[in-house]
Amino acid sequence: MGFQLKNGTVTVHAKLTDLGKKYLLTDQTRFTIARFSPLDDEIDYSLWNTGHTDGNAYYGKAIEALPLLEPVTSAIFQAKYNLIKDLDRGQIRMATFVLNPASVSLEFIESVTQLNVTIQGIDEPRMKVILLDNTKADINAPGAQMIDVNPLAVQNFIGQSGFTYAKAFEVATNATIEVTPKWNNTAYDWSTKVIIIGTSTNARSEVPVTVKPNSVIQT
């Protein structure tokens, strides 16, 4: 990651993601750029200063001076905050997901937790559901349409070697998500996350998932 120079020149810097490169090299029928989305990941709107001594033309001076980030190839680390069009003029709140339960703990190999999702603020008909580590747990939902995700996913930071891999699908926001554990024959808890992202608003919520040692079958 780096910073782009801001010298008054408008620069359009396009870069393929890892997933785009994969399609380009292995299945060009899936390499179709159908739409784009502007984002403001690097903008800190708390810097809007209505008390600027030079007047209202300078309220956003600090925001305009922020550095612009160069695009990276992984959407895991960037492209989180899409700009949204067609909102009602009187809209004062963005969409938010309310998740029940707020965290998931899977104690036995037969454990099944149903994750219910409610959208608030703006209508959001569909959502992406991402499990960061499919080696520790699994997710399913009725009517789910599997989607490809960056194979890098998240490196395991708890002292083990290797990489973990994500699973993702798209589904209606009123769907119930089932979270189930994988076999944990260790002596310690596993941790991962389920991430919910609105397909049009990019509203985002996360649910921590804990998988307990489960080599003993529940009776």
- Please give the Cα distance from 122 to 126 (Å, whole number): 12
Instruction: Look at residue 82 and tell me whether its pLDDT is greater than 80.
Output: no
Mean pLDDT of 125-136: 90
Q: Per-residue pLDDT tens for 178-192?
A: 999 999 999 999 999
**pTM (two decimals):** 0.69
Least confident piece of the model among 6-15, 16-25, 195-204 = 6-15
Instruction: Look at residue 1 and tell me whether its pLDDT is greater than 60.
Output: no
CB 116 within 8 A of CB 100: yes
Where are the chain's structural domains? 3-69, 96-211
Q: What integer pLDDT is reported at residue 158 of this predicted model? A: 37
Instruction: Look at residue 88 and tell me whether its pLDDT is greater than 90.
Output: no
CATH 3.90.870.10 fits 96-211, yes or no: no
**Nearest C-alpha neighbor of 6 from the set 63, 56, 77, 81:** 63
Instruction: Look at residue 12 and tell me whether its pLDDT is greater than 90.
Output: no
Give the mean pLDDT of the chain: 81
- Please give the Cα distance from 203 to 158 (Å, whole number): 29
CB 132 within 8 A of CB 173: no
